[in-house]
Amino acid sequence: MKKYFLTIITAFFIFSYSNAADPQESGEAPVPAPAEEAVTAAEVPAVETTAPAPEAVPEVPAEGEEVVLIDDALPDGATTEGVWEWDTLLKYSGERSHTESAAKGITEHSYRTNPIVIPRNSVIEQYIYLDPDNMPKGIMLKFRFENDGREDEIGIYREGEEEVFVFSNDEPMLYDGTLPNAGKWEKLQIYCDDLGLVGAKLTGISFVTYGGRAYWDLTRIRAAKEGEQYPPEE
């Protein structure tokens, strides 16, 4: 009886060991792996694993094309300083120009925006209208830019017979001639090579008027035409 009982016990242990060693033959489903181990890389949301692409910096197109900086509105995301007055009656391009109220001294309004790379042989064009009833004594454009990891500013100005702008020795300002004619739209052309702006990143412009009132309209960058440059006398 004892031998028979031991035989049954031995057979039971052999059967149990066999099932534990090969769960597929026993008909029992294998124990699933923990959930955190079963997740594959493909199931992880892309937003958690993919770094954002760097923002592309726009460049000036080839000759014959242009980049409009201001025409009826400021660039997207721009921040401003000073008083921006928009005038819908007096305009050169689009629906309106920007100005400030007439004053005896300096008025200045400016904007800052995402950088635009300035390539070789490019020209910044600015259309301006001087009020004949409030003739300014001087006008100036100041360009804010980044170059070699630092931010700087350079200006270009025009005056009448009276010298009204006073600068310190460390201010890079260039004289561009006498004032344009009043009472009609005139085009100012700034050759970026001559200002040393080639390869710099333009980040903003200031519009300055000394006395009187000026209206500013279309501001754009275009590629210079072949052979185009300042006249020799300038």
**pLDDT tens, residue by residue, 181-227:** 999 999 999 998 888 788 889 999 999 999 999 999 999 999 888 76
> Is the confidence at residue 107, as pLDDT, over 90?
yes
> Is the confidence at residue 16, as pLDDT, over 70?
no
Is the pLDDT higher at 180 or at 225? 180
Residue 37 has which token pair?
């181990």
**Per mean pLDDT, which range of 1-15, 83-97, 117-131, 163-177 is the poorest?**
1-15
Instruction: Collect all residues with Cβ–Cβ distance below 8 Å to 219 and sequence separation of at least 6.
Output: 68, 69, 70, 71, 124, 125, 126, 127, 205
**pLDDT tens, residue by residue, 27-84:** 444 545 544 444 444 454 444 444 444 444 445 555 567 899 999 999 999 999 999 9
Task: Indicate the average pLDDT of the chain.
Answer: 78
Residue 209 has which token pair?
């008027």
> Is the confidence at residue 8, as pLDDT, over 70?
no
C-alpha 4/C-alpha 90 separation (Å) is 116
- % pLDDT > 90, the chain: 50
How is domain 66-223 classified at the CATH fold level?
Jelly Rolls (2.60.120)
Q: Which of 186, 153, 179 is nearest to 165 (CA)?
A: 179
C-alpha 231/C-alpha 145 separation (Å) is 26
What is the average pLDDT across 87-95? 96
C-alpha 68/C-alpha 75 separation (Å) is 9
Tell me which amino acid residue 126 is. Answer: Q
What is the average pLDDT across 150-158? 91
Q: Where do the domains of the chain lie?
A: 66-223
